[in-house]
Amino acid sequence: MKYILMRTVSGKTYYARTEENNAIKKTEDIALAQRFASEKDAKKMRDRASRKLNGYKIHPVSDESQKVLPDSKIQVADATPSVSNPPAGISSNSHRKCFTAQERVAVYNKTEGHCAICGEFVPYTDFTVDHIIPLAKGGNNDLSNLQCACSVCNRIKQDILPEDLMKKLTRIMVYQVGQKENKKYKKILRKACR
């Protein structure tokens, strides 16, 4: 059993959902509603966005029938958000998704808390989940295709394949070192090559 945030206004029922960029939106489709593992998780979300989710109540929901159930205290460990029917020709596994706490811990532990791109340590509260092969290039949401990244590296990488990213960064460094006024890059490169 999962929990959702729900509000009824003038006979219409709205559900809270989370978009890719973590923006909170409302929807009339219960299949798109954000699912929470516990009432506590739902309350955290409601408290975090108290202005936007004003008037929303926490309700248990049956995953099989997607019907709102009478109040219950049953809780489960994982909160996987629901994904609606994907467009034709695209598998549901290629959609961006909100990862559960367990999935995030597994991704973080793969690199022992270090960014897989730059190697710097990233606190758990600051890391982002990066798709090694971007979804736009045919990647998926399997753990084997996910890596821990700092937010800067994730923004730089965007939807570039790892090999293409390294080629681009190398071209940038070679170009910058070749500029006469960029003596600092030569020093940085000498240090890095030691």
- pLDDT of amino acid 63: 57
User: Fold for domain 99-165?
Assistant: DNA Binding (I), subunit A (1.10.30)
* Confidence band of 67 (pLDDT split at 50, 70, 90): low
Residue written as token pair 């109540």: 57
Cβ–Cβ < 8 Å for 7, 55: yes
Mean pLDDT of 150-158: 91
Measure the CA–CA gap between 59 and 73, rounded to whole angstroms.
10
Q: Considering just the CA atoms, what is the radius of gyration of the chain in Å? A: 21
3-state secondary structure of 15: strand
Q: Which two tokens stand for residue 48?
A: 């975090």
* Confidence band of 81 (pLDDT split at 50, 70, 90): very low
pTM for the whole thing? 0.48
**CB within 8 A of 194, min separation 6: which ones?**
none
Residues of the chain with CATH 1.10.30.50: 99-165
* Confidence band of 115 (pLDDT split at 50, 70, 90): very high
Cβ–Cβ < 8 Å for 127, 150: yes
Reference 162, options 149, 173, 143; nearest CA is: 149
Q: Which two tokens stand for residue 76?
A: 């489960």
Measure the CA–CA gap between 191 and 112, rounded to whole angstroms.
25
- pLDDT of amino acid 116: 94
Q: Which two tokens stand for residue 66?
A: 């997607």
Mean pLDDT, the chain, whole residue set: 79
| Residues comprising the chain, all counted | 194
State the Cα angle at 164 between 159 and 168, rounded to 5°: 105
In one letter, which amino acid is 10?
Answer: S
